[in-house]
Structures are given as C-alpha cells and as structure tokens.
Structure 1
Amino acid sequence: MSEECANPLLLGWIKEWLDQARERNSKGATVYKKAYESMKACPLAFEHPSQAQQLNGLGPKLCDRLTDKLKAYCQENGLPMPEPPGQANKRTSDSGISEQPAKKPRKAKPYVPALRSGAYALMLGLSTARENSSQGMTKAHLIEVAQPFCDSSFTAPTDPTKFYTAWNSMKTLIQKDLVYEHGRPLRKYALSEDGWEVAKRIQKTLPESAQAMFPSTGRESDSQPLRQGQAGEVTSFHDADEDESAAPPQRRIFNGHTLNNGPTEPITLPPNSFTIQLVLDTRITPQVRAMELGDVMWVAKCRDPTFLSQYGEEGDEIMLDWIIERKRLDDLIGSIKDGRFHEQKFRLRRSGIKNVIYLVEEFTAVHAEAGGGSAAKYQEMVASAIASTQVVNGYFIKKTRNLDDSIRYLARMTLLLRRMYGAYESPEEGLGASQSATAKVSLIPSGHISSIQNYLTQIEELRAKDPSLTYGVTFSTFSALTSKSDVLSLRDVYLKMLMCTRGVTGEKALEIQRRWPTPRHLVEAYMALEPKDREGMVSERLQSLVGRKKIAKSLSKKIAEVWGEGG
C-alpha cells in the first residue's frame, strides 16, 4: 500500500507503529490510524518529516519520531539527511553573497486550560485512569471524577438563560487532539499522547499529597483507575502494588468498563443482593433524574455498590423490564396532534423493554382546554389512540383520576415488583410477604453491546432461552442506547424524516424503509419516474399492505411532494 503514497517511507513507519499499538491493544492505535490515513491520502511529497504537521493527525511529537527514523535510515544507507525547509543555517550563494536564513517560525504556545475550568477538570478526570489503558471513560463516569476539580457544573448551566455547561469544554479538547472519543452506542473518552503531556503538567501544579493520587505521578502508577470519594477526595480503586496481569479476569477493570476478554455471558445477581427502586424523570415532581426514555422506570440497585464494578460495569443499577410513559390528558391530546405520540411509541418499541405502561391522567375540562380544545372535541381521537396503543402496540393502559391517584399506583407497582423479586428496602417491609419469590435479575455485559440492534437481538435470544430471568443493562448503558441524539443510525434518521410528513406513522415509515432502505433509494426511485407518475408511487408499490400500514393515495402524494421534487 505504501507504493501508492507520495511519502512511502513515512507511511511505512507509521504503519509499523500502528501495528505495534494494535498488538499491545494500546489507545495509541487510534492516533496512529488517523495519521496513517492522512499520510496515505496526501498527494504531496515532503522534503522533511516536519512538513507533515500540516496533515490532520500528525502533531510535532509524531513528526519528531519520523525525523529520528529518517536520520537513522539515512545513516544506514549513506544518504544525506535533508534539512527542514527554511530552517537551514546561513548559506552562501554562487555569487558569494551571504543569504539570510528564513525566520524560524514561532513555536505555538502549549495549551494549558484555565485553573478549575471545565477543560482543566476534564483533563484531570481523564488522567485518573492508567496511561496505558486502552479503554475510555463514559460521560457519566468522567463527570463524576472531574466535578471536584471544577468550579462550575457539568450538568446545569451557570447562566440560566444559556445552555452551556462545563461539559462544553470537551469539544475544545477534542478539536485540539488532546482527547479522543470512541465507542457506539456508549461513547467513551480518553487522553491522547499530547493530552497526557498536558495532564501531567497540570498535575504538577497540584499539592504533593494530591499528585500521589494520580497513577501517572504517584506511586500508584500501576494501580487501577481512581474514583471520587465521599468528600470529593480521590482514592485508588485497588491497592497500589497489585499486579494487574496476575489478577483474575473479573478484577481487570478500567474506568468501569469491560475489556474484550471480560464476561461474555449475563451476570445473575445473587439473592438478597439488591433492592428494587423507583426512578422518576426530572420533569415529574419530585425531581430525581433525567431519563432518555419514559417517565417512570424501576431498577435493581445492588446493596454492594462495588459489585458490578468487579465485572467492569459502571454504577450499581440494572434496568428492570417495566417502564411507564405518563400522559396528562392535555399532553396526550397535544402529542397526538404534533406527532410526538407516535414517535414516543416507536422509541419505546426499540428500547427492548417488555412491559410498557401508558399512564393517562384524566383532567377536568379546564385542564383539557390547555390541550387546544374541550375534551369532548377530542374524545374520539383520544379513544382511537388508546385503542391503537393497546391492540397494535400491545402496551398496557392505566387511567388515573389525578396526580395523587398516579402516585398511589406507582407505590403499588413498586411494592409488587419488590415482592416478585423478594427485594425490599428493609426487613420490616418484607414482613408477611411470601418467601417464594423466584424472579431473578441478570445483567447483559455492556462491553459486548455494539449497537441498539445488537442489544435487541441479544435480549430476544436470552429471553427465549430462559424466560424466567429478567435481563437488563446498567442504567447508563440504557440511557445511551435510548438517547435521541447519541445513537441515531442512518436508518433511525431516515425513519424520523419520513414521520415528519403528517400521516406517516411509525408503522408506515417502517414499511417504506423496508421497500426503499435508504433516502437515496427512495429519491432515485422517484427520479426514475416521470413527474406525473411520482404522486402515486408509494401507494401503488405498497398496495399489498393492509390495515394501519396501508398508504392512501393522498398520503402518497404528500410524500412525493417532499421526496420526489427536483430532477
């Protein structure tokens, strides 16, 4: 491959380092891969490796390594070492007139983030990991370890009129190649080689007692990652002198994530090792936690907060198979009118949660007016939506009179689940309850989930294999899998685009996507027809569909107006 490149020697040396990094499973592989691809695609021949700094992914440090390799190569082969352009000493021309060397370019000042800024805290947070670790930190874990080093919040804007938090500094660090991100659907972050240099300089400004807490500066350089203590202090995860290579597989943990050789089979929680807790979305009073999907869910919370970390997992909670989407009557009417109702049902179906409950709070006519009209006016529309949710989607509908009634229902559901799993907050809560609870909870390792489709396939196979177990993932993994923005594949974006056309429900969008897999397929199908034939294309080619999936000619015309224009 190097023969196709304008700089085959430089490309070959980068490839050599890339192969070595991959063999060691080093994080440097990402850096070398980026440099390799840039060098291979470059059509310009460089006189000196320093010129390669203009390429994406090749910084001063990597170019210096290439220069050293070139010097050794020239010495071995008796060749003159080329001089950096514009950097040669003063020369004398043929006329004997002394030529002044070109001015030495000013060296860029190394980037150092401001004290206790977001970037400052993120660099220190990421440096609590081992430098030679090939894994990264999730956003949730990184915020946890970085927050003590920052004066502003990573989750709430300092200025209520703006949306910026300390986390926005991550974009700057990525642009400066100090941090790189990888992993889907659960994004992870790690320091690059240049990032480690900056982080170490920051660490040296800390008190000596604090420096000893970082693996890269203190005696714990061979220890496991560090975690935030109760009072904001940082403590080592394992003893400093513990030999990682001698530890059993389940102890080889990096930043709360499983290695490739970590557990591949589900991890069943031992009896009496967890409690069942109700989790509410922050948009519901009382505010508890922001959730990517649904308004109410339940988790199995381990009594031992370090239990899951033994298997490389983050946190101490596993999602259960129950989720509630709460709708006030006025909100239900509004979501039906603007299409959110169908989009939410579509996302719930792709969440992998088996038991979905729609809780509808019935308000008085005064409340219904807020939804855009009287309840009677929209009674038929609401009844149709509820019937469809029950029959087509298979979701359970629970109607309550008011918020207090809803809270009582949630309390009953929580007690029911605790009895099913024999998991109570206290011994007194379990008094009088049957001791024959057999339901068990099993965790699907997050390190082996590569996409939402991969997750859905795994969970369906596991349920078919052993229906008696409740299979779930950690709360952070579930949030990443169901995020509206972080895990949108081309297929997801395409479906959402189709559903922007009024009348295209989730079922209809799926049928269109099955017939024309990508936006390009759909547009090309329209372009192959005469303009007069485009209006009826979708309805005619999907005429075999029946029921709610059937696409009428009027809707087919609307779709054509969006996708079939031009050409």
Structure 2
Amino acid sequence: DCKILCGFGDRLCQMLDEKLDAQNNEQGDESDPDKTIHYIPENIEVRKEKRQLDIKSQKKKSPLSPKRNRKEYNPAYRSGAYAILITLYENCVGNCTSMTKNEIVEKAQNLCDKSFTKPERGSYYTSWSSMKALLEKELVAKHGNPANFCLTASGKDLAVKLYDNNVTQMLEREAIENQAIKNKPTQNIQKENEIVHIGDNLEDKVKTSQSSNKSEKISDFETVLFVPNTFEVRLVVDKQETLGAKEKLQNDPILLELTNLGVPHDVKHLKVGDYVWICRNKETPNVELVLPYVVERKRMDDFGSSIKDGRYHEQKFRLKQCGIQNIIYLIESYGDNTHTGLPLTSLYQAATNTLIHDGFTVKFCENLKGTAHYLHMMTKILKENYESKTIMSCPKVNLEKSTINDDLVPLMNFQEFNQSGAKYKNFTASEMFIKHLVQLKGLSIDKAIAIVEKYPTVKLLKEGCDNDSEETKEIIANIQFGKKKRIGPAISNTLCGFYTSDEFP
C-alpha cells in the first residue's frame, strides 16, 4: 500500500513490513479489533498521565518561589481617592459618620486636581470613579438608599496617614519659606506717599528718561508713581475665559486651579488678550498699571477655527497695537488633538509663523492644568521682579520699551490699555487699508504696516502704479520691515498687478 505514495521505495516498504510484523507478534493477534483499535489511544493517555506526574514531581522538588510583597495602597496626592478619603476623615472628626455622593463631591473638589463631575478630553472617567477602587479594597463602606459612604477601620487608618503626611509637608514648606524670608537681605526703603503726583520736582527725571518732545506731552498727563513694596502684582483673567455668570465663577475650572495654586487674580472684561498682570496700590485700588506682558490663549480647536474665519490675523493685529511689548501666544492641547478643524501640520506651521514673523512668544500646554501652572509661575516671577521697583504711569503714545532690570519702569494705565485694544467700527483710511492688505496671500501684518507707512491710502498706491508701474514695483520691493527685511519683488508684483490689471487671478 505504501508504494503508491511518493518517496516510498521497495526497501522502505520492506522495513515497514518487518517492523509491523514484529509489533504484532509482541501484542498478539492482528485480527483482534479491541487490541488494534484501543492500543494507540491508551498509549497516548498513559503518556499524558506520566507527563503530568513528572511535572507535579518537579514542582515539589523545586524550591518554592518567594511571594511578592504587595505594595500598600497609597493614593497619589490630590487624586480622586486621596480627596475622598480626606473628606470622609474630616467628616468623621466632625462627629458625622456618613456622607452622600453630592456632599463628598462638593467638599472634595478643592482637594483634587481633576473634576468630580466632568471627564477630561479623551477619557470617560472622573475623579469619582476612584470610589469603585476604594469600595473594592474595603476602605470605604456603602449602605442605604440613597447611598451613604463612610470609612472602614482600615480606610480610617489610611486617611489618618495621608492627613498627617499632608500636614507635615505644609509645615515643612512654611518653614522653608520663613527661613528664606529671614535670610533675604533687608532694604532700607524710605516710605513716602504711595501715590505721588508728578510736578516740578520730578520734571527732570521725566526728561532724562524720555526724549524732549515726549516730555512736553507728559506735562499734560497726570502721572502717578508707586514706590517699592507699596503695590501688589495681580493677574487679570478675561471674563470670556470663564463661565461668565457670578454664581458659576466658583465652579469655573481655571479659577479653581488658580485659587488652589494661590494666584491673586481678578476677573474683568478685557478688550484684547485673555490674561494680563496689573500693579495695584494697596491703599488706592482704583489706580491700576499694566505690566508689559499679555497672554492670548488658544485651545487647539479654537486655534483652527480662528484661522478659518479670519480672527487669527485680526487678533494678532490688535495685540500688536495694544501697546504691550511682550506678547505670549499660549496654545493648549484639545484632548489628543484629533478634532481641531485643520491638520496638525497646518496648526504647527501657523504657530511657527507667529513665533518667527510676528515675534510673539509661543507656549504649548498639555491641558487646562498646565495653563494654570504656567500663569502661576509667570505671576511668581513678575511679583519677585517688579514689586521691588519704582513704577510710574505713562501714556501709550510716550511709552518706551523697558527691561526687567530697569529701576524705573513706565507702565500704561489699565483703562487706556483696555480702550486701545477695543474693536472699533469706524476705522481710518490707513487702518482699513491695512485690513485690506492682509487679506492678500503672503502679506503679514508687519509687511502691511510698512506698506501703509509709505502709501497711507489706496488712492496713493493706485496712482503710483498707474503713473509708473515699474518704479512703484521697485519702491514697494525695497520697503523695509522688521529687522531690516525687504518686501521683495513677488509681493510688489502682486500689488501692482492687483491695482492695474482689469482681470486679476
């Protein structure tokens, strides 16, 4: 039978027959169906049993592997589980044994960095989801309908440990801060009136710090002076960046983060920018001067929308005209940045253009918490560097660039800053010409402003193109903007072609 198979010859078939005959002689008659049918399965089962016995015997002989020591459950600081345990523990101290879910959420939110009611982008879980783990680990007990929660004995021990560690860390931080204050060299500061009206005595200072033609304009401006350590630096948050209604401000996520970080802040309506810092006198809070820093915050999805509807260029234009020299463009991620309205490559290219061409400082943050921490660090740096300086009010037209190392810092009044950044419906011919130019491809705000300085109106530019097109092209191409950059022939050809051709592509 084997000869019909490929590869089986006479010699191989003979060897197989010999082996089969020898096996049949050992096991008995080949015609016995029971022996021939059940022999192989029985042999396989025996082999399996032997293997199992061998494995068991080897396990018995081998030394027992040491059991891993399970780590004690220790929730992270300001996590959902941490906030729930501390809240229930404080409730136990107050002789109340149990709390409902709403009571826990209301009191635990201030102890947690994430929301108990709203999940983060890309996630379905809130801080309240930690309650499931606490119930499984029998640290919290649940009873009643509606459900009430209380600490078990093991949960109370863990909460006491967390509470003691928190208090110890707070005391250590206070000790370090007090030691730093003691080691800080004291400065002999002559405290005078917090607000000084500039008159004949300070006329010389004003003249030396500014040019003669600008000092004549200041003479009509009522100037105020803040001496060191008589004013406070505070962060101002635009009202449109919050939930809006007064009763909802307490639950606003950005304000909650700033409050937890200890950032002194106010909520006001800003005409331009989303965050600014002001210097407010401690005894006359109605006088507020704006520090030379403004932050425009854009979430990734809003960043894409602003590019598509034109707000991107319009807002950058108003930021440049507001009189603040340090403009920070803060871009915040939107979950995993999959629904941004534009490809990520386009958004990153726009951010790069904002950094290089517009000269803004571009800062990327992962989420709302990262934005709050950045504002906290900026506030801390500005307080350390400006509260020990002398600052004076100055009108926007006379405002000069200042550095953080200057002893006398001129600043703009907050009301003037807000008015200068407002959207006006009535534009001048030059302002409308700038808005018109930036709609053309390749024309940034800086280029448009440089062109308008040479040709203040559309009429003058069109007349130049009609009279001598080649000369006008050369003049426009050689117009300088920014750091000794030229407009270039490509844009000059586009402008002249736009105003002279009957059909422009």
TM range, normalised to the smaller chain? 0.3 to 0.5
More helix by share: 2
- The TM-score normalised by the length of structure 2 is 0.45
Q: Taking structure 1 as the reference length, what is the TM-score of the superposition?
A: 0.41
